């Protein structure tokens, strides 16, 4: 049985890093002593690792950074859980492609290792990172990611109450362009929200704010914490399948 906790970000508005999710983290890591942290998406891996180490120490967990391990694959083999942090998803994906952690994490999580992904780490759990908000500052080999869930996540989705309707409309427009070329649901997670997937058979929205589900051919649907999203686990994603439009008649003459 595996657990996935895919978070929009580390913060809920007005609270400290991961403060809003400590009970859920305690449950996720209940049977774990050693968590391997993957900080490659961040610009300062040492500082990021130390901050996360202090937070998980409050739960009695030992956290080590993959970037400081002489052999990241051996470090993963010795860990009980993996925590993939946020930052730039392109930088993260290129790093785990180069050091072999991408297929290794996939195997361990599918075999039952708990997975915590924050922001870029949530993108990495998807089939691809195509729905990240990040600039492609580096060139990964491909955009294929861990494929732990069969749909896409868009972190940092704007909250209409806080960010305004125009921010939602702008993000929806960008994600609608993705749906023009790909027939895959996109779950937009607002700050402070996460998706909890258990044993690849149950999925629920958790956290303090909400989310929005965008699907080709349907109106976007607003979601609240507690909503059951298990149906998304039965998605059959289809990438690079553009919407077929009727040919426009040529003007006479």
Residues 120-177: pLDDT tens digits?
999 999 999 999 999 999 999 999 999 999 999 999 999 988 889 999 999 999 999 9
* Residues designated as active site: 119, 134, 156
Residue 252 has pLDDT above 50, yes or no: no
Task: With beta carbons less than 8 A apart as the criterion, state whether 126 and 146 touch.
Answer: yes
Residue 225 has pLDDT above 60, yes or no: yes
Helix (H, G, I), strand (E, B) or coil at 122: helix
pLDDT at site 253: 38
User: How confident is residue 24, by pLDDT bands cut at 50, 70 and 90?
Assistant: very high
User: How confident is residue 10, by pLDDT bands cut at 50, 70 and 90?
Assistant: confident
Pairing relationship of beta strands 62-65 and 3-7 according to DSSP bridges: unpaired
Angle in degrees, CA 3, 12, 83, rounded to 5: 35
pLDDT at site 33: 97
Written as six digits, the tokens of 123 are: 């993108």
pLDDT at site 162: 87
pLDDT at site 245: 65
User: How confident is residue 251, by pLDDT bands cut at 50, 70 and 90?
Assistant: very low
Residue 237 backbone phi and psi in degrees, to 5: -70, 145
Q: CA–CA distance from 135 to each of 127, 129, 158, 166 (Å)?
A: 19, 11, 18, 21
Across 56-67, b (16+ Cβ under 10 Å) vs e yields beebebebbbbb
Q: What is the CATH number of domain 3-234?
A: 3.40.50.880
Percentages (nearest 5) of helix, strand, coil residues in the chain: 35, 25, 45
pLDDT at site 212: 98
Residue 248 has pLDDT above 90, yes or no: no
- Average pLDDT score over the chain: 94
pLDDT at site 16: 82
Q: What is the pLDDT of residues 25-70, one digit of tens each?
A: 999 999 999 999 999 999 999 999 999 999 999 999 999 999 999 9
């Amino acid at each position: 049985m595996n657990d996935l906790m895919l978070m929009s970000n580390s913060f809920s508005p007005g609270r400290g890093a991961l403060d809003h999710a400590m009970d859920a983290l305690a449950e996720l890591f209940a049977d774990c002593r050693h968590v391997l942290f993957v900080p490659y998406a961040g610009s300062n891996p040492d500082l990021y690792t130390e901050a996360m180490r202090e937070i998980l120490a409050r739960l009695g967990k030992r956290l080590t950074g993959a970037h400081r391990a002489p052999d990241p694959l051996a470090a993963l083999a010795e860990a009980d859980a993996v925590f993939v942090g946020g930052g730039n998803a392109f930088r993260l994906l290129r790093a785990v492609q180069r050091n072999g952690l991408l297929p290794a994490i996939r195997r361990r999580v599918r075999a039952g290792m708990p997975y915590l992904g924050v922001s870029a780490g949530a993108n990495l759990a998807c089939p691809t990172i195509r729905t990240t908000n990040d600039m492609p500052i580096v060139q990964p080999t491909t955009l294929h990611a861990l494929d732990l869930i069969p749909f896409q996540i868009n972190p940092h989705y704007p909250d209409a109450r806080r960010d305004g309707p125009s921010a939602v409309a702008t993000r929806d427009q960008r994600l609608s362009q993705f749906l023009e070329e790909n027939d895959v649901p996109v779950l937009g997670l607002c700050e402070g929200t996460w998706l909890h997937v258990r044993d690849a058979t149950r999925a629920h929205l958790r956290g303090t704010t909400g989310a929005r589900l965008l699907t080709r051919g349907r109106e976007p649907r607003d979601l609240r914490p507690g909503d059951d999203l298990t149906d998304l686990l039965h998605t059959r994603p289809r990438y690079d399948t553009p919407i077929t439009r009727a040919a426009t008649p040529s003007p006479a003459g």
